[in-house]
Structures are given as structure tokens and as C-alpha cells.
Amino acid sequence: MSLTNTTLGAAKAAADTSLTVAAATGFAAGNIVRIGDELYQVTKGYVAGSLTVPVGVEKGGTVAVAHPSGAQVTVGAATDWAQQTAPQTTPQFPIAGRAKVITEYSADGAIALPPAGGDALAVISGTAHTGMTLAVPTKDLNGSKLGILNLTAAAHVVTIAGGMGGGALVTATFDTTGRGYFELIAYNEIWYAQNFSGTLTSFDVALS
């Protein structure tokens, strides 16, 4: 067997004990499900082929959080996973490696800042134009990286407070025909765009 990807067919609240998925492929009692940084195990009550999937308590010390409709869902047998645990507690300035928090967004709103001493990945999964905002990084985020990618091809727009590099580049617009990724790094309360200056016409993300 191998891992299978689908999406949430409906939003999941942190306290929910079942998932609504878009496709049932790969789901079976005992299989492991991952949504963002959260891991579950499908319980014995699951009916094969059903799009409603009962799940037990979070595995590996992960913490239950809400997930939007359309969020990426990965499922497979326990033996298919190279790692069945995911970090949830982010220590201040960890010595052995940096933690990375993954968050999906399917509606207009604010992108969460990375944890102090850690990095973050923002995944924009809305099926239509999504307008996102990003606040000025706080002083304790020096060196923290924030990657932003569009899971769905749409003209998603990210408006960055203060501008990239503290200058005039304040928006990033994703291409409607493909998927792109760009990365920012925080230092001294400024977001710096890596390897970008001006509007890029040959890349999936245009900065302006």
C-alpha cells in the first residue's frame, strides 16, 4: 500500500471525533490520518467506502485544532509512514533543529506568524481568490522563516504589512494557472523576500 491524499469535504472543529472527506480511498480501520501537524487513527467503527471517518484521540502527542474545508488529508497504513509522530510543542529557540508549523487557509484572513525560534509554512487552499494579510514580524522572530504556497491555482493575494524589506513591495499575487511558493525571513521587525526584487514575470508569484 501507499499513502493517499484527499481533502476535507467539510470543516473540522477541534472537538470533532469524525472527519468528512472528499474521497474514501485509503481509509480503513487502524490507518493513520494526517491533517497539517495533527495525526489521528481511524477507529474500528469505520464503514468501508464511507466519506464519514470516525477517528480516535490524537496520536503521538499532537494537539487537536480546527481545520477548514478543503484542507489536505493524507492517509495510509501505519507501515506506510516513515514517522508517526509530529511535533506540537515548540520550545523557545530550540537547540536541536527548528520546529516548523504547517497551517492551511481556505478563506480570507490573517496568516499566523511563526513561533519564536521556529519556522512556519502557510498553505493557501481556497478554490477561489483568497485575500490574506501578514503582520509585521515581532522582535523575537529574528531568523524565523515563513514559506507561503498555493495548493490551488487561483489569484491568491498576500498583503504584507510594512512591505518586503521595509520597502514598496507590499503584495504577492499567485498565478491563476499554476502553483507557486515563496519564502520570507524575519529580522528586526521586517520581512525579507529571498532572491526577489520587483515584479517577476517568469515565476508563479508576482510581487508588487
CA distance 47 to 53: 8
Report the percentage of the chain scoring pLDDT > 70.
83
Q: Are both 28 and 53 inside the same structural domain?
A: yes
Binning pLDDT at 50, 70 and 90, where does residue 194 land? Answer: low
Q: Are both 32 and 55 inside the same structural domain?
A: yes
Q: Is residue 95 part of a domain?
A: no
Q: Are both 123 and 192 inside the same structural domain?
A: yes
Residue 197: CATH number of its domain: 2.60.120
Q: Is residue 18 part of a domain?
A: yes
Binning pLDDT at 50, 70 and 90, where does residue 201 land? Answer: very low
CA distance 14 to 79: 26
Per-residue pLDDT for 10 more than 60?
A: yes
Residue 6: CATH number of its domain: 2.40.30
Q: Are both 31 and 109 inside the same structural domain?
A: no
Average of per-residue pLDDT across 163-191: 85
Residue type (1 letter), 181 = Y
Cell numbers representing residue 51 in the block? 466519506
Question: CA nearest 143: which of 182, 166, 116?
Answer: 116
Binning pLDDT at 50, 70 and 90, where does residue 85 land? Answer: low
Q: Are both 8 and 73 inside the same structural domain?
A: yes
Q: Is residue 94 part of a domain?
A: no
Q: Are both 151 and 131 inside the same structural domain?
A: yes
pLDDT number for residue 197: 44
Domain span at 191: 100-207
Q: Are both 105 and 203 inside the same structural domain?
A: yes
How many domains is the chain partitioned into structurally? 2
Per-residue pLDDT for 158 more than 60?
A: yes
Q: Are both 167 and 191 inside the same structural domain?
A: yes
Do the bridges between strand 4-7 and strand 72-76 make them parallel or antiparallel, or are there none, so unpaired?
antiparallel
- The predicted-structure confidence for 114-132, as pLDDT tens digits, reads as follows 987 889 999 998 777 789 9
- The predicted-structure confidence for 44-54, as pLDDT tens digits, reads as follows 999 999 999 99
Residue that finishes a domain, picked among 57, 89, 121? 89
Per-residue pLDDT for 195 more than 60?
A: no
pTM of the model: 0.65
pLDDT number for residue 143: 87
